Amino acid sequence: MPRLPTLQEQLRQLIATPSVSCTRAELDMSNEGVILLLESWLSSLGFRTEIMPISPGKFNLLATYGSGPGGLVLAGHTDTVPCNPERWQSDPFKLVEKDQRWYGLGSCDMKGFFPIAIEAARPLLEQRFQEPLIILATADEESSMSGARALAAAGKPRARKAIIGEPTSLKPIYQHKGIMMQGLRLTGQAGHSSNPALGNNAMEAMHLMLAELLQFRSELQNRYQDASFAVSVPTLNLGCIHGGDNPNRICASCELEFDLRPLPGMDNDALHAELERRLRPVAERAGVEFDFYPLFGGVPAFQNARDAELVQICEQLSGQPAESVAFATEGPFLQQLGMETLILGPGSIDQAHQPNEYLALDQIDPAIGILRRLISHYCLTSPSAEVQKPK
Ligand SMILES: [Zn+2]
């Protein structure tokens, strides 16, 4: 049996194996190398592994120890965002230790989670597992979330609870906003600017759309508020607009892209339908062609009950109250599989997605401690025995 590398050596190898995912095809890479490393380490520990193909070069890994229903999922994504090596002080694909930190692309978001989860589990593997531990490694979280979507569609894995180890400085995160990105294309008719009757101006029609969207935004913000978020209302941002070509031509085509961040309790599909219901009549009145489409699959808002058992246990173990965050995760997709889901992991989101990303070393031992106690609680203790305990 191959010896398991040390935690630091595992992270060194993961960082040295680039796995950028990006909606720009020229930057997008396979995550197969990372999946194969994790697969070899976890199978050497006795996990049963399944590699799930998602698309060419992209894979999820499901590694299970123990069997039966219930259990705990420890989930992370294998991909990173792209980086600008010229803005780094060291090679982003080399783990560098400096100032009590490990630098490298993915060190905190979130390749570092896997060696930590493995280290949390390792000393427990001698014991009998009442319920399974599943280490889940997904593809393309940073671009399309196609890995998590594929799991939700396939109906696996099934467990009672799931922890997603995104960098939260070990704070339990029980809810986040969702993401929708929408495109809107209006097509009118070109013509000479000297006579408006010769065409139909798509930019003027867009002007009416913008007014409708801003009106819709203020209505949404009146309807929905949650003070636990730093930005307590749903947001709608007009991101970019392109239209027309020349001052003396009637603008024939105008395109807008905007993003919407719904709060928990708001449904992406319902929002899309409502937007369409409001915008289409504006286009009809203006006499332009109307094309309204999502720019990607979107991420639903995520919320676990504030008083759920997993939230309470993680508050106790971390010593920090559960919070809300602005960034989206794979949480809603794991929740669709029926698992109580919480986001909690080592490292800070402040260091993610930017040059000189690092994992502070003082996060590692506490992270191992929290995960180990969660594994003990959910996998080693029989839940029926727990229920029979006298009060
Ligand atoms: Zn992440």
| Interval between CA 166 and ligand 1 midpoint (Å) | 5
Q: Which residues form the catalytic set?
A: 79, 141
Beta bridge partners of 175: 303, 324
Angle (CA) 70-297-292 rounded to 5° is 150
What is the DSSP annotation of 107-145? IIIIITHHHHHHHHHGGGTTSPPSS-EEEEEES-TTTT-
Percent of the chain that is helix, strand, coil (3-state, to 5): 35, 25, 40
Regions of the chain with pLDDT less than 70: 1-2, 382-391
In the chain, the amino acid numbered 53 is: P
Residue 387 pLDDT: 39
pLDDT, tens digit (0-9, with 9 covering 90-100), for 69-81: 999 999 999 999 9
Structure tokens at 189: 């008719």
Assign 56 to helix, strand or coil.
Answer: coil
Q: Cβ distance 109 to 166 under 8 Å?
A: yes
CA of 154 to the centre of ligand 1 (A): 22
Neighbours of 305 (CB within 10 A): 11
330-389 pLDDT, tens digit per residue, is: 999 999 999 999 999 999 999 999 999 999 999 999 999 999 999 999 999 765 444 333
CA of 66 to the centre of ligand 1 (A): 27
- Annotate 56-67 with b (16+ C-beta within 10 A) or e (fewer): eebbbbbbbbbe
pLDDT at residue 2 in the model: 58
Centre of ligand 1 to C-alpha 328, Å, is: 9
Spacing, Cα 312 to ligand 1 middle (Å): 23
User: Which among 371, 304, 356 has a CA at the least distance from the CA of 332?
Assistant: 304
Ligand 1 centroid distance, CA of 219 (Å): 32
In angstroms and rounded to an integer, the radius of gyration of the C-alpha atoms of the chain is 24
C-alpha distances in angstroms, 258 versus 115, 235, 252? 38, 10, 20
What is the pLDDT, as a whole number, of residue 385?
45
Of 31, 57, 34, give the one whose Cα is nearest residue 142: 31
Half-sphere exposure at residue 288, Cβ-oriented, CA atoms within 13 angstroms: 32
Of the candidates 193, 180, 188, the one whose C-alpha atom is nearest the C-alpha of residue 254 is: 188
**CB neighbours (10 Å) of residue 233?**
18
CA of 117 to the centre of ligand 1 (A): 15
Amino acid 381: pLDDT: 78
Distance in angstroms (rounded) separating the CA atoms of residues 65 and 34: 20
CA dihedral angle for residue 116, residue 148, residue 240, residue 209, rounded to 10 degrees: -140
Q: 345: which 2 tokens?
A: 């992991």
Confidence (pLDDT) at 382: 60
Q: What is the pLDDT of residue 137?
A: 98
157 cis-preceded (ω within 30 degrees of 0): yes
User: Is residue 87 within 8 Å of 96, Cβ to Cβ?
Assistant: no
* Lookup result for tokens 């992370």: 76
